[in-house]
Amino acid sequence: MTSGKGRTVIEIKGLPANKNWCKGLAKDLKKKIGVGGSFKNDFIEIRGSNGSGKSTLLKIFCKLIPSKACEYRDNFKEHIDYLGHKNSLVEELSIRRNFELEDLALDSDIAKNFEIKELYDELCANLSFGEKRKFAIAKLLQAKKKIWVLDEPFAGLDAVSYDFLVKAFKQHIRSGGTILLTNHQTEIPDTKKVNLDEKIS
């Protein structure tokens, strides 16, 4: 996985080539993702049933779960923004204060499309899951990282917010970014899909 400038950020290595399942996995990923080890300007959608390992895979990519299969560059966190299930918001603070902690201010266009402007000064703990999700995604959209790793980003979103987010994702790809996300809802058009439920032949 590379940054926008082509520098390697995360490298998967150390898989035993003499194992048939490893050969199959490598072949399957090349076929489905269309790369020989480099993710750049790609929109990759990981699908699979509950318990198939989608969330675990993302956490390994982001070094939240240790794995000998990944080698991380010292500065890899400078390029990656991760959004998990918990939204990365401090419940005891207002949304505005959550943004200020990362030197951000809510973008007016994002606020309009997500319909969240009037909630900006609310205490985070008082908001619904869907409202928190929108603010967490808004932070990611504004953080200027090249690689976005998201675990079920559409959970809790209404149809209008879904459409806006898909457009924002595609704009990120056009501007040189990379997105790796899990999704069990409606498939996103024009993404490279990996289904963890499918058997490797």
* Residue 41 forms part of a structural domain: yes
Query: What span, in angstroms and rounded, lies between the C-alpha atoms of 24 and 39?
Result: 19
Model confidence at 185: pLDDT above 50: yes
DSSP letter at 94 equals B
> Which of the residue ranges 22-31, 84-93, 107-116, 177-186 would you say has the lowest mean pLDDT?
22-31
The reply to whether 4 falls in a domain is no
pLDDT digits (tens, 9 = 90+) for 43-70: 889 898 888 888 888 888 787 887 776 6
**What CATH number does residue 146 fall under?**
3.40.50.300
Cβ(44)–Cβ(33) below 8 Å: yes
Q: What total number of domains does the chain contain?
A: 1
**What's residue 86's pLDDT?**
84
Q: Are 48 and 56 in contact (CB under 8 A)?
A: no
The answer for 14, left when phi > 0, alpha when psi is -120 to 50, beta otherwise, is: left
User: What is the pTM (predicted TM-score) of this model?
Assistant: 0.78
Q: Is residue 1 part of a domain?
A: no
What is the domain extent for residue 172? Answer: 10-195
Q: How confident is the model at residue 6 (pLDDT cuts 50, 70, 90)?
A: low
